[in-house]
A and B are shown apart, each in its own frame.
Chain A
Amino acid sequence: AQTVTQSQPEMSVQEAETVTLSCTYDTSESDYYLFWYKQPPSRQMILVIRQEAYKQQNATENRFSVNFQKAAKSFSLKISDSQLGDAAMYFCAYRSDSGGGADGLTFGKGTHLIIQP
């Protein structure tokens, strides 16, 4: 079974600074997808960014980018120019593609990101 580990229960960053959230995963599969989801106090789960394992290029979405290291099974999220609205729980998630994508997400336990004004 796949596992996802987020080793930082909580991170704090000053507004406008850059912060990196760590995620490692364990899998024996070669085809899979990785995601970062954000959960603000409203509890809504919001997709931040997605990475396909077969793509070597790291995904970026505006101020959010990832550092995907397939051999190391590492998938970190970098948030640049942090804003107060970025304060939330961030979950790293994995989905296998071995069943043609018919599978649910495996989540890490989350990192609580605090933005200091």
Chain B
Amino acid sequence: DSGVTQTPKHLITATGQRVTLRCSPRSGDLSVYWYQQSLDQGLQFLIQYYNGEERAKGNILERFSAQQFPDLHSELNLSSLELGDSALYFCASSPAYRRPEFFGPGTRLTVL
């Protein structure tokens, strides 16, 4: 158990819908990262937040957005969902820059 929690574990929804994935980092970790793992694209970095501020962006679609709240939990919002958005979404956290990331168990999103 890495100490990072993600909810829900599984999510099934329809095309065009919007969903929110939630992540609670390890106690004391200020950095939160979001990744997408799909068969087509492999593991891709989406976005990073540090202490409530966006710090780095990867291959995140405009339909996707994220935020980190004052209690340091983070949410990833996915809208106008397409079949290709079906994937495993990971959240990871680290105490600061230059420290390794510890991954949560992931949320499996299925878009029908």
Contact = CB atoms under 8 A, between A and B. Distances in A.
B64 to A, nearest CB: 14
A109 B98 CA distance: 23
Query: Chain B, interface size: which category?
Result: 20 to 34
Dominant secondary structure of chain B at its interface with chain A: strand
Interface residues of A, number: 23
Interface in B55-77: 55-56, 58
A61 B55 CA distance: 30
Interface in A91-117: 91, 97, 99-107, 109-110
A64 B56 CA distance: 31
A105 B46 CA distance: 10
B101 interface: yes
Nearest to B92: A45
Contacts of B56: 99, 102-104
Interface of A: 33, 35, 37, 42-47, 50, 91, 97, 99-107, 109-110
Interface of B: 2, 33, 35, 42-48, 50, 55-56, 58, 88, 90, 92, 96-103, 105-106
